[in-house]
A = this chain, B = another copy of it.
Amino acid sequence: MNPEWLGYVAATLTTLAFVPQAVKTIRSRDTRGISLGMYVLFIVGVVCWFGYGIALRSWPMIVANAITFVLGAIILALKLRHG
């Protein structure tokens, strides 16, 4: 059985996982429990994954990390704004 589907499921889950956090943070503005360090490191990492996806011409990697970048950036911006 081709494992590629597992990669697509994994990419979808770890990308969409940030949607409930973004929604919760947008609604609650409660960012005290969220780590600034995490989102700075994570977003730089996601940009690297995005670059790696371009280097490999891997559309799933490019699209998944573009979405994760936007979601992560929203959470980071709210963290910077609300402390």
Contacts and interface: CB of A to CB of B under 8 A. Distances in A.
A48 interface: yes
Given A6-B55, A14-B46, A45-B10, A34 B37 contact: no
Identical copies in the complex: 2
Which range contains the number of A residues in contact with the other chain?
35 or more
Interface in A15-43: 15-21, 23-25, 28, 30-39, 41-42
A10 B56 contact: no
A16 B41 contact: yes
Contacts of A51: 3, 6, 10
Interface of A: 3, 6-7, 9-21, 23-25, 28, 30-39, 41-42, 44-46, 48-49, 51-52, 55-56
